Amino acid sequence: MKFIFGIIVSCILMTGLFAGENLKTGINAPYFKVKSGDDKELNSSMIKGKVVVILYETKDLIEKNRKLKIELNKFYDEQPDTIKNLIVKLPIIDCSGAFRLFVGMWKNSLIDHSKKERMVIYGDWDAMMFSNFKMKKDESNIIILDKNGIIQYYKHGTIEDKEVKIIKELLLKYVNEK
């Protein structure tokens, strides 16, 4: 009985350790719904036909890929409006750990950070996006969806300079696809 219990516990722990490793490129992105600090909802149906850059993090990791965020914002700002209109920058914070008592503070924090970053930052309040996308826990996760909602890119951790270049190239590639 102890042996079986040990195997079950090991399986549970390994599942947690490898969460995010199973996200595959070339498949349809799962449906998702997120909400901003001022309760504006965004779901995957609302951004069909756009190239989407998802940056999913916990509040403790928002500085981990600061260089990537700066580079992507610079890249975005340099694009003509025709391209800007086809790219959705989607920063998402895992808010599932917010206790009911502190939800108001979390929402205010999202609003403040949205102003600071000059883009709406959304919260994954029920961890469904985290679960459905098999995000890597305690990591910065970046995902690119093409105009058809297909996952074309997924990485987690610190994104190095050479990878930033690849991300920019992919964005232009998918924006220009018919």
pLDDT tens-digit map of 50-101: 999 999 998 778 788 889 889 999 999 999 999 999 999 999 999 888 766 6
Whether this model's pTM surpasses 0.85: no
**pLDDT tens digit sequence for 121-137:** 999 999 999 999 999 98
**Domains of the chain (ranges plus CATH)?**
23-176 (3.40.30.10)
What is the DSSP secondary-structure string of the chain?
-HHHHHHHHHHHHHHHHTTTTT--TTSBPPP-EEEETT--EEEGGGGTTSEEEEEEE-GGGTTTTHHHHHHHHHHHHHS-HHHHTTEEEEEEEE-TT--GGGHHHHHHHHHHHHHHHTS--EEESSSHHHHHTTPPTTS-EEEEE-TTSBEEEEEESPPPHHHHHHHHHHHHHHHH--
